[in-house]
Structure 1
């Protein structure tokens, strides 16, 4: 029994199931607007802070607000903010005002910093964003969002010849999403013709729209800011959130007359979540698309993705309830529909093992070995090797060399072929070619099946094609 027990533990470890979206907890925000500088005052920074305060309160944030704060007041505010963060909370920090980068460190400028005699004095009298990142990373927050509308030209840069704008953060930490009002090492104007910066004006409006993830919000913000500044200012973001964040979660549906471009962006987000194995979040995003009454190919794509995700969620729910046989059966069906879905094959095999149905586990594990990406391929081999003393068919599965046929490669779901045609489909193909599981001949058959213009082939494909041509000669 000990070999079987260790095998079951190995199978369970190979699953690494995607975690359900946990309760995001409370929402707390620190908002700082500094505009009352002795040199180069900013007339919109206070307005920006107030506008963001109103917008964030409207979507459920408890806010701490400071206006024209000196360094001591900024330090006190960050302490109050950190003390308000509880386990799993979403913590958001928004700053509007002057900032500078020194030695690749971003420093916010308090209102009591008039002029520094040297860079050391400037760093000591400024408010370090590195410190904010460090303390937020130590906090019990579940998600951290940093928004800096602080890329305006400022006196410190002029006097010391330092790089303009802000530097890309190097110590942001886990589950953190960072937004700058313009690209790193670039500056943004204060919008002399309006009461708010172009960036904050767009952000405060778009974050109040239901069912839009923070990535989608920033995509829309970028469009507005680019249009308002005639291309001179491009907002920037960087994130490593483990789950999608919505200012207003997608629970109330969407406007039936939704903009097709917005529906397409939501479908793209659903596909991205699907590729990250965030099944429930991807299903929620797909439901939003369907509620928006999409048309034609977008509708077909969303329906097929919805069918796939519904089954995938059902399989994971069955596994969590201990019904491994049902989970394995569903995942085997999904793999038969899409022979590139090697993760479904691996999970089907491991669930069969957990259900003590060892003979039935061999076929999906062999398929995962044959079709899988590196992680899936290696996991399948490890499990099959442990099965050899128990099940003779495992040895055969390990010794058999199998490659996808052109028909199998082309047997992708419609949501691959009709949405993001070359990019998603060719991305899957490139992974297979990189793992030496598809020949250039298969790649060309794949493109012919899709009836799409053959895109510029990945480097791995080009190299394989050259080798194949040399062998033929």
Structure 2
């Protein structure tokens, strides 16, 4: 009976703190304006605040890049110790390279991938901003079409984020790679359904999003199908279910306090006793709890200073990990692969680039200890870790320390921070100063940043010739991003006269330096401009060179060329061979494509069992279309249960 009473108390106090950040961006300066995101944001704010009685709901309308970053940073403070932390974003979204998602600020001007860093926030930043809460929810109504955009990604809409950890749910307004409807009734179909279903009593949040999916699919006649990733393992509700206990509850609080104390009285951390005092500040065990807290806080402080048993070995590990960042300042996929290899060789600091947001423990303490001793690489990595955690103010403290010691990557990060007003006041002149300091030490990313500032007249007078000089300076040192940018200028006739021959010259330079994207662009050029015959053969030659880079998505792309018969004779058997190669490298897209071949009997005998097996492999890697196939094509029910 005591257990039942305890459950009643928890239900009553279940959500003592529920916070939300609601963002609606519609008045874009360089993108097509949207009709409904402000209406959608206001609808969600009213629903959360007035009807669901959230404690704090912050509404942000038409946020530029600086406002967006500040709101996210501030929200992370609110999310600490919250029972529920929820973020809703309505507006334009963009899938960048490496399947990263970007949510665009209203002042975003996206012409190249690098522009995303100063015009949009990532979905990871929104996720990190909810850290510290028991249940975390991020809702992205941000897959709306961008017909006037100066930059197009290979895929419309947003990709699916790999969710790690419990009690995190990410909801998307539509399927991966698809476009969500803005709506013509004052609100988008997704926001309308969300607000309606949120009000349902006795409906868990997980079940609620299933209802939202069904409602949107019905209203849009199957054109838009919302999805979600992650899981809330505990039953979490917006409106608490009714709990009926048939008995006198006069002694409920006292019995509940005893149950609580019995559950923590043998713990050896201060947090458990602080939690007791938070709920029972004048409880019968409060004096004992205070003594326990003093004891364990003292013990923690005595061991706070990191112990570096072998300081030279630790420094070597840290510098090796830092070098991963220096060699891969932009390409996250290469950085991740390098980190995996380095981690397998026994370097624990490589974990930073695999799971930076959760990097902690003794290795973190070692970084702090050495950074305090003016070890530049340690301070730089601490800056990177805190940026990943979504706390730029803390990150800037460490980047400043590293930069003052002479670390060029940290200087470059300070330039980017001052340009965006991220963790520091926005100051274009200071941004230029830090970028130039970094460039003078040989940082090619900083060189291209200086060039971009001259192009956009940020902190300096606009000068296209000076811009090209800085880009060429970076390219001469071997920066393939700069080479590709110059090639793109010639391809589009921007800044310079359109010239396919010069475009190819710069793409060739990047390809010779091993840039896979350059190889693909050269192949695309020959495939589109060559008609039939020799030029298509050239296109395939370049595609095969890209394959040699070992990138699984390039290998999958070759399979699709044979599947479609683009530049080659259509051959499903050859397509299968390429798809299998990519699948062996963990390409979810290739696994899905193999499922298609089996389901429809293309080049092989129809086999629905094999099709389901391959769809399930892709689904387990969060491939949205594969999940849809499993649940909608003869294998009904929860896809996880179907793919055991």
Report the TM-score, using the length of structure 1 for normalisation.
0.47
Q: Which has the higher contact order (CA 8 A, sep 6+)?
A: 1
TM-score, normalization by structure 2: 0.35
